[in-house]
Amino acid sequence: MSRRIPRRTGCHTADHGGSRRNFLLGATAAAGFGSLLTPRHAAAMKRDQVQILQVFLQGGVSQFESWDPKPGTEFGGPFRAIPTSVPGTHICELLPYTAQKMHLLSLVRSINLKTNDHGVGTRFMEKGRKVGNFPYLGAVASRYLSPVDSPLPGFAHISTRGLVEDTAGFLEAQHAELKLLGFQPPANLAAPANVDGETQRRAESLRRQLNEQFGRGRARSLIDAYDTSFQQAGQLMDRRQMFERQSAKDLVRYGGHPFGRNCILARTLLEQGVTCVKVTHHGYDTHAENFNFHIEQLDEFDRTFATLLGDLEERGMLEHTLVIVFSEFGRTPKINVRYGRDHWGASFSIAMGGRGIQPGGVIGATNDNGTEVSDREVDAGHLFHTYLQAVGVDSAQDHQVEGRNIPIGDPTTEPIQELLA
Please write the tens of the pLDDT for every residue from 327-339.
Answer: 999 999 999 999 9
Query: What secondary structure letter does DSSP report for 287?
Result: S
Q: What is the DSSP letter of 328?
A: S
Of residues 29 and 391, the one with the higher pLDDT is 391
Q: What is the DSSP string of 96-145?
A: HHHHTTGGGEEEEEEE--S---HHHHHHHHHHS-SSSSPPPHHHHHHHHH
The CATH number of domain 40-190+218-419, selected from 3.30.110, 1.10.1060, 1.10.357, 3.40.720: 3.40.720
- Long-range contacts made by residues 214-222, C-beta under 8 angstroms, separation at least 24? 221/172, 222/173
Q: What is the pLDDT of residues 162-192, one digit of tens each?
A: 666 789 999 988 899 988 888 877 766 666 7
- Residue 62's Cβ-count burial label (10 Å; 0-12, 13-18, 19+) is buried
Reduced to 3 states, what is the DSSP secondary structure of residue 382? helix
- Rounded to whole angstroms, the Cα distance separating 159 from 171 reads 23
Whole-number Å distance between alpha carbons of 117 and 274 = 31
Within 13 Å, how many C-alpha atoms sit on residue 36's CB side? 24
Q: What CA–CA distance (Å, rounded) separates 356 from 389?
A: 8
The pLDDT assigned to 14 comes to 43
Query: Can you give the residue ranges of every domain in the chain?
Result: 40-190+218-419
| Cβ neighbours of residue 397 closer than 8 Å, sequence gap 6 or more | 36, 407, 408
- CA–CA–CA angle 64, 68, 73 (5° rounding): 60
pLDDT at 70 over 60: yes
> CA-to-CA distance for 57 and 303, rounded, in angstroms?
15
**8-state DSSP, 126:** H
> What's the rounded mean pLDDT across residues 75-88?
98
